[in-house]
């Protein structure tokens, strides 16, 4: 088995449709899966990085969300396997690191998007782009007035690397995300316009425990890592749309935008 200097644990289904498919497995991925990698880090004396999530704030009562907000999470809802799984993983990483003298890092990731998402990923950005390209209805859950803050993947990865390699001044989890808050309705309209799609917007019921507002306070990342997102929503969406056009034309799932 190779020896590692650094271990990044990103393994976990992240889209609600995927993490709710086998909820017990999701909870165990967060617990046993994280423990397995922590044990490997201890054996190698490696630095350990845990991908946590803004979902640990649940449906937040504090806005924007700072790292010291403790969250509003349902322990027994359909999202709990993921939300509580990730909360437990934060505890495990912190305690294991302290007991074994390991350097650990925890990032709380807010909604991230970009090229190479799976067309059936099930999260809002890829759903809307694929639907717009295929000329299918754009499905908005609830009124669409709920907000999210979307971070482009390149910005996120830059934040990961800075956090992992920072040598001092890191105490506890760090929010990494884009504080530019947008409603789901605004996102749908922007994607429709950029794709030039005639798709109709339809509304479906809001999933249980869906957070109403989501926006990171990134002052910690800015102060400690000199990190802030550089890619605008418009530019990130343009790159992501171009990716899906290419992906769908080579996979045979031809878009109506391409046909016109
Ligand atoms: N993308 C986001 O907006 C976002 C937001 C918050 C947190 N995160 C976290 O970042 C990480 C990556 O997210 P993503 O969006 O790339 O998700 P993704 O679903 O696209 O990728 C997750 C990966 O984990 C692997 N995986 C799942 N269960 C596993 C297991 N038991 N053992 C080994 N591998 C397993 C999957 O095969 C997949 O390759 C996840 O931990 C997720 O919780 C992502």
Strand partners, 216: 65
User: To which residue do tokens 């912190």 refer?
Assistant: 94
Across residues 64-88, what is the average pLDDT? 97
**pLDDT > 70 in the chain, percent:** 97
Tell me, what's the pLDDT at 1?
86
Do residues 126 and 188 touch, judged by C-beta distance below 8 A? no
With 70 as the cut, is the pLDDT of residue 258 above it? no
Categorize the per-residue pLDDT at 171 as very low, low, confident or very high, splitting at 50, 70 and 90: confident
User: pLDDT digit string (tens) for 103-155?
Assistant: 999 999 999 999 999 999 999 999 999 999 999 999 999 999 999 999 999 99
Do residues 46 and 32 touch, judged by C-beta distance below 8 A? no
Tell me the CA end-to-end span of the chain in Å, nearest whole number: 52
- Distance from C-alpha of 253 to C-alpha of 257, rounded to nearest angstrom: 12
Tell me, what's the pLDDT at 99?
98
Categorize the per-residue pLDDT at 259 as very low, low, confident or very high, splitting at 50, 70 and 90: very low
Lowest mean pLDDT of 198-202, 203-207, 248-252, name the range: 248-252
Atom 2 of ligand 1, nearest CA residue:
112
CA of 18 from ligand 1 middle (Å) equals 10
Across residues 4-17, what is the average pLDDT? 97
**Beta strand spans in the chain (E):** 6-9, 47-53, 104-109, 112-113, 138-141, 147-149, 151-152, 174-176, 181-183, 201-204
With 80 as the cut, is the pLDDT of residue 208 above it? yes
Give burial (CB, 10 Å; 0-12/13-18/19+) of 228: middle
Q: Which of 9, 10, 83 to mutate to test the pocket of ligand 1 (most atoms within 8 A of CB)?
A: 10
pTM comes to 0.95
CA of 1 from ligand 1 middle (Å) equals 23
Categorize the per-residue pLDDT at 257 as very low, low, confident or very high, splitting at 50, 70 and 90: low
Strand partners, 139: 202
Q: What is the DSSP letter of 189?
A: H
Kindly report the average pLDDT of the chain as a whole number: 95
Across residues 71-95, what is the average pLDDT? 97
Across residues 161-182, what is the average pLDDT? 94
**Beta strand spans in 71-213 (E):** 104-109, 112-113, 138-141, 147-149, 151-152, 174-176, 181-183, 201-204
Residues with CB under 6 A from ligand 1: 10-15, 18, 29, 33, 51, 53, 109, 111-112
List, by residue number, the catalytic residues.
82
Tell me, what's the pLDDT at 252?
74
CA of 96 from ligand 1 middle (Å) equals 22
Q: Where are the domains of the chain?
A: 6-259
Across residues 86-103, what is the average pLDDT? 98
**pLDDT > 90 in the chain, percent:** 91
- CATH of 6-259 among 3.40.50.720, 3.20.20.105, 3.40.50.300, 3.10.20.30: 3.40.50.720
Categorize the per-residue pLDDT at 169 as very low, low, confident or very high, splitting at 50, 70 and 90: confident
Which atom of ligand 1 lies closest to the CA of 86?
Answer: 43
Tell me, what's the pLDDT at 260?
41
CA of 172 from ligand 1 middle (Å) equals 21
């Amino acid at each position: 088995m190779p020896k590692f200097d650094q271990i990044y644990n990103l393994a976990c289904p992240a889209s609600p449709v995927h993490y709710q498919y086998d909820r017990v497995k999701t909870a165990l991925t967060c617990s046993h899966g994280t423990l397995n990698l922590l044990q490997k880090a201890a054996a190698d004396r490696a630095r350990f990085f845990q991908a946590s999530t803004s979902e640990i704030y649940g449906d937040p009562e504090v806005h924007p969300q700072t790292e010291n907000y403790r969250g509003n999470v349902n322990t027994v809802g359909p999202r709990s396997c993921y939300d509580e799984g990730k909360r437990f993983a934060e505890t495990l990483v912190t305690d294991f690191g302290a007991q074994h003298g390991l350097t650990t890092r925890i990032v709380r990731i807010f909604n991230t998007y970009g090229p190479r998402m799976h067309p059936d990923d099930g999260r809002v950005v890829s759903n809307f782009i694929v639907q717009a390209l295929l000329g299918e209805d754009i499905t908005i859950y609830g009124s669409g007035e709920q907000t999210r803050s979307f971070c482009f993947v390149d910005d996120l990865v830059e934040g990961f690397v800075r956090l992992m390699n920072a040598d001092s001044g890191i105490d506890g989890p760090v929010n990494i995300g884009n504080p530019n808050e947008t409603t789901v309705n605004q996102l749908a309209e922007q994607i429709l316009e950029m794709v030039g799609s005639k798709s109709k917007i339809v509304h479906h019921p809001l999933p249980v425990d869906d957070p109403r507002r989501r926006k990171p306070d990134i002052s910690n990342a800015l102060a400690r890592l000199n990190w802030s997102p550089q890619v605008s929503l418009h530019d990130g969406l343009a790159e992501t749309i171009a990716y899906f056009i290419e992906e769908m034309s080579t996979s045979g799932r031809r878009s109506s935008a391409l046909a016109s």
